[in-house]
Chains A and B, each alone.
Chain A
Amino acid sequence: MMCRRQLSECQHLRCSSLDTPPTMIKAILVFNNHGKPRLTKFYQYFNEEMQQQIIKETFQLVSKRDDNVCNFLEGGSLIGGADYKLIYRHYATLYFVFCVDSSESELGILDLIQVFVETLDKCFENVCELDLIFHVDKVHYILNELVMGGMVLETNMTEIITRIEDQNKLEKQEAGLAAAPARAVSAVKNMNLPQQIKDIKLPDLPAAIKDLKF
């Protein structure tokens, strides 16, 4: 009699189907002490609404923990399930959270977070939250050299930095001439000059030069 009831409960607990295949690292989230996302990378598809919920839930789980407790956390209900764990580190104002499955070594992922942060530190020269706020794209490119499609790609920092610098060089090369005026403008904008400046006519470069291919 009771057992019958238990059975029906079990059936309710059967997990719903997943949209995309499970990966070893399911998501990488960086958010600040207030839960504002600074970088989100999901290696399994969730729609935007769900992503925000996951960020929120993860923040709630992580933020209530003291700094001197362990860096592993089970029980995120939205992301993963029993096989998945949250592994995080807290640096000053930022939380770096990796959601990983059991195929990853817990201590290994902690090291990976460290590598990630140290790489950021090297690339941005004393990285702070502002760097992540304004250069989230660059942070993504850096992350892409560490983790690919949810799998650890490279853990050697020198190698990672070489790759990133190579790509930066390539980008600068491409920007070349065409970017000069844009840079000037952004410099002007950065000075926060009043809007009138918009009325000043700046010499325009022919489009041909701009779209020069390298």
Chain B
Amino acid sequence: MASGYPPSLEGPVEVKEGFLCPLCLKDLQSFYQLQDHYEEEHSEDVRHVPGQLKSLVQKVKKAKDKLLKQDGDDRNESSYESFYCGGVDPYMWEPQELGATRSHLDIFKKHRAARIDHYVIEANKRIIRLEKLTSFDRTNMDAGKIRAMEKSVVSWVNDSDVPFCPDCGGKFNIRNRRHHCRLCGSIMCSKCMEFIPLPVAYKLTSGTREALCVPAGSPGQTQPPGAAGPAGQPASRRGSITSLSSVSSVLEEKDDDRIRCCRHCMDALLKQQEKLEEKDHVPDIVKLYEKLRLCMDQVNKKAPEYIRMAESLNAGETAYNLDIAGGLRTEVQKYYELIDALSKKILTLGMKEDPQPHPKTLQLQRMVRYTATLFIQEKLLGLMSLPTKEKYEELKEKWKEEQERRLQQERQAASEAQKRRSELEKNRPRLAANGDARPARITKGVGWLPSSDAVHRGGGELDDPLLQQISNIESFLRQARAAGRLDEVATLEDNLRQLLDEYDLQQTSHAILLSQQLAQEESLQQEPRQRSRNPGFAVQGGEDGDDDDEEQQRDVRSKHSESPKMQTLAIKSFPPLGESPPTTDAPSLNPFDEEDSTPLEEERSNPFTEEIQKEQASATPRDKREYNPFEEEEDASTWEVGANPFEEDDDDDEEDDDEFGTGNPFQEGPGHAHTASTNPFDDDNDASVSYEVIEEELLLQQIDNIRAYIFDAKRSGRSDEVELLAENLRDLQRTLQEQKRKPR
């Protein structure tokens, strides 16, 4: 079924031939699988044959070329190309670079800049005038005085110059009178006239004044849109426009709480106001979403680590600690719970509000939730479980046995290889005569081409790369002899000798190493065995509370020594003595302990109990069963737990987002991200001073990063940022120098 893309004319049997591994003849189903297989299984062949061999190969000048070419061909061609009579399946065409592109950003910016200058000047003028118009006390002044003041701000267009309303074209007469825009001085009729309520004007003119003015402004009047509630901005904004016009229709001449202006100015002001609002306002969904992404990043980081651990533990290896893995598992699972809760919260945002959010907003929320669900499904369900303690002990035993067996096998293989080698030496002439060994191919431009028949014949048995290499060279030797290349025979023989020496050396050192390992292991296993004598450790479900507590305490202690993060976590989950019921903490380490529960449930319930326990530390123990972990999580502790990392990361995000210019809601204002306090690089510098020793690698990496940032900033023309970054770079480089100077 998965046999690549078999040609319709050929049978599937033939296809299978195409994806045999050239080294071990394992049948693989597709080209990609083959490639993966090759990289996984046989890359060590390349790696293991160390520099020693490489230099050897280099000595064999002519043969080397052939050899390498042969290897390369094996890898690429025999896998797919040569098989289909030379053609290539379109699905397997080699990767290509990105197609042609062309940027118009420069021209665009040029045109925009010209326009923006004009626009900004106009906007600033308007604001300055508005400020002047609102600077005096209108309510206690008579209309004439106000008029005079207003006239002084901007020169009014002459009445006689404008016989018709420029907006609607209506003729001006006694009934249809002329009105002047107080902001630009132009003329329009009463129908085309707009009013700016004073609160809005105040808000526009000064952000600082806003806070004082808005609550003080007449409450019965139009409420400034900013105060209409944080969530439903679109609705409230629309509301503000309608209320503006309703005001204009009710009031006729008295301008004590509003300013007349033309439609165009009003439009521009409204846009400005909108922008002002957005600048300070970060919608809830963005806040939640950022947290969601952070959790996902954490999972992406931690899950592979955990899987590595779990795999190793399940195999009975001793490279990782079972407790640490358990802790990591709980941590990852907690992130999943967080993701679930966050995405649920995003889904229901604004659902209860009276004017339902725009359908597109709802769609967005649904999509975010859907993505989170997909993410959880894909990642969480692939999370394998850990072995129980007893099981782990068993596994460890098994692994040890296996190791021993392997060691023995290796020894045996070595002796066998030795034997075979001597046999080969003896049999060689006969083999060649039989035609068993492939005769050396002689091609025109090249002379002869050694084909490593040993690779195909005995690949399965000779698992040591050196052994393989030895047999390869032996076969080359044979071929060279057959071809009568005496000089090459000499060099090859030389190589063979060196290789054999190397092999013997390796074998002895390997044996020593293994015996050492064995001793170590035994000493390691002494420890857990002693531990398991403690009754609190063998989790059987029938334990009493004291034992559990004891166990938990030990857990805390062990975690404590591992990492500070883990420590806080464990402490939180640790219920106060006496007050808490003896809930078993064991399931977190042993999800398959209880026979009747499904693993799915177990996985889900674990973090819950954890969560509940956490709550119990602070809340009353009464409502422990009816608890909805989601609700609580959202409201109380979890946010706080997560708060710190989020904040830190926000800075990073801002740095990234900054290149998208102003008006970006993720960002508080232009230049904000560049202040020293929020610059993540500065933090790094501070840290570098406080720590005695810094990983040089880290520093180098940082420098590279900054270089990339500089390049990026330069490209998008943010010169201020470039300067700042360059400074950072210098700092870093200085630190690096110091670091290097320090004696190790």
Indicate, yes or no, whether A interacts with B: no
Give chain B's interface residues, CB within 8 Å of chain A: none
Residues of chain A at the chain B interface (Cβ within 8 Å): none
